[in-house]
Amino acid sequence: MRVPMIAGNWKMNTTVSEAMELVNEIRQELDEIDNVDKVLCPPFVSLAAVKELIKGSSIKLGAQNIYFEQKGAYTGEISPLMLAELCEFVIIGHSERRQYFNETGEIINKKVKAALKVGLKPILCIGESFKENEAGRTEEVITEQLRSALAGIKYPNGSVIAYEPVWAIGTGKAATGEQANKTIGFIRQTIYRKYCTRVAQETRILYGGSVTASNIAEFIQQSEIDGALVGGASLKAGEFLSIVKQTSEIGVFERD
Ligand code: 13P
C-alpha cells in the first residue's frame, strides 16, 4: 500500500520571511490531512526556519539539491550530512539542474548514492524533452535516465520517483492523466525489472509538470500515479491546500 504524496518544490522562490509566512498560512490545514504525505521543499536557506515551524506536525521537509561529497573543500555546496539533520527528502536530478547546471546521469547517480548513504530519501526526477516526446523516444529516454541514476544501487531505500516531462514544466501545458499514467506504469515496470516486485510496489511515483488545483484530480484518479511534485502552484497557499485535500479525498485506495 503506497501512501499518496504531494510535494511542493518552491524552486528559487521565497525569502526566509516569505517562506515562513507561507508555512504559517498552510501549516494547520495541512497537518489535519493525515492520509497523504505532505512534503515542503523550500530553498536551502529556509530549511531550518521551516523545520522549526512544522515541528510536531505531520508535514515533512525536503531539500531541492545536494552535493555528493559528505564534507570538505567544496565552497558553496551543501552536503548530505548537513541535510540529514534537517530533512527527510531531497530532490535530485530535476530537469532544471540537468539543463542549467549540466548535471549528467553520472553526477545524479553519485548524488542518489550520497543521499541514501545518510538515510535521506531521494525524489529522483526524470522526464523527456518536447523533442524526445515528439520523436516517440519517451520510454528510451526514461530507461536510460533510470539506468544511470540507479546504477550500482542495490536497494533504493524509500526513494520516490517524479516523472516530470520537461515540456510540461512551468508551461501550463500538463500531460493528460492517461499519458502520465502510461509512462508511470512503464517506470514501475522498469523498477520491477531492475529490482523486484516488492520494490516496484512500494516505490511511489509522482507526476510533475503544471499541476494545479484544477487538474490534480485527473492524475490522482489514475492507478499508477501516487501523487504530484508541484512547482508554481505550491507557492499559493489556497491552491496547494486544495491539491492536497483533493488528493486526500480521491487518492487513498489500495495501490499495488
Ligand atoms: P510547475 O508545477 O511549475 O510546472 O513545476 C513542476 C516542477 O518542476 C516541480 O518540480
Residue whose CA lies nearest to ligand 1 atom number 2 = 231
pLDDT at 253: 56
Percent above pLDDT 70 for the chain:
98
Decide: 63 and 44 in contact? Cβ < 8 Å.
Answer: yes
pLDDT at 250: 92
Give the separation between CA 16 and CA 161, rounded to whole angstroms. 28
pLDDT at 71: 97
Confidence class for position 255, pLDDT limits 50, 70, 90: low
Residue whose CA lies nearest to ligand 1 atom number 7 = 231
Model confidence over 48-59: pLDDT tens digits?
999 999 999 999
pLDDT at 193: 97
Q: Is 202 a catalytic residue?
A: no
pLDDT at 249: 94
Confidence class for position 251, pLDDT limits 50, 70, 90: confident
Residue count of the chain = 256
One DSSP character per residue, 104-137 reads -HHHHHHHHHHHHHTTPEEEEEE---HHHHHTT-
Task: Report the b/e string of 38-58 with b at 16+ CB within 10 A.
Answer: bbbbbbeebbeebbebbeeee
Indicate if the pLDDT at residue 156 is higher than 70.
Answer: yes
- Between the CA of 35 and the centroid of ligand 1 the distance, in Å, is 23
For residue 5 the three cell numbers come to 504524496
Model confidence over 189-201: pLDDT tens digits?
999 999 999 999 9
- Grid-cell match 502520465, residue found: 180
Confidence class for position 1, pLDDT limits 50, 70, 90: confident
Which of 103, 164, 218, 239 is catalytic? The answer is 164
Atom of ligand 1 nearest to the CA of 169: 4
For residue 238 the three cell numbers come to 489556497
pLDDT (average), residues 66-78: 98
Give the separation between CA 219 and CA 213, rounded to whole angstroms. 11
How far is residue 74 CA from its own chain's centroid? 26
Residue whose CA lies nearest to ligand 1 atom number 5 = 231
Average pLDDT, the chain: 96
Indicate if the pLDDT at residue 256 is higher than 60.
Answer: no
pLDDT (average), residues 35-48: 98
Give the separation between CA 134 and CA 166, rounded to whole angstroms. 12
Percent above pLDDT 90 for the chain:
97
pLDDT at 231: 98
- Between the CA of 252 and the centroid of ligand 1 the distance, in Å, is 23
Confidence class for position 28, pLDDT limits 50, 70, 90: very high
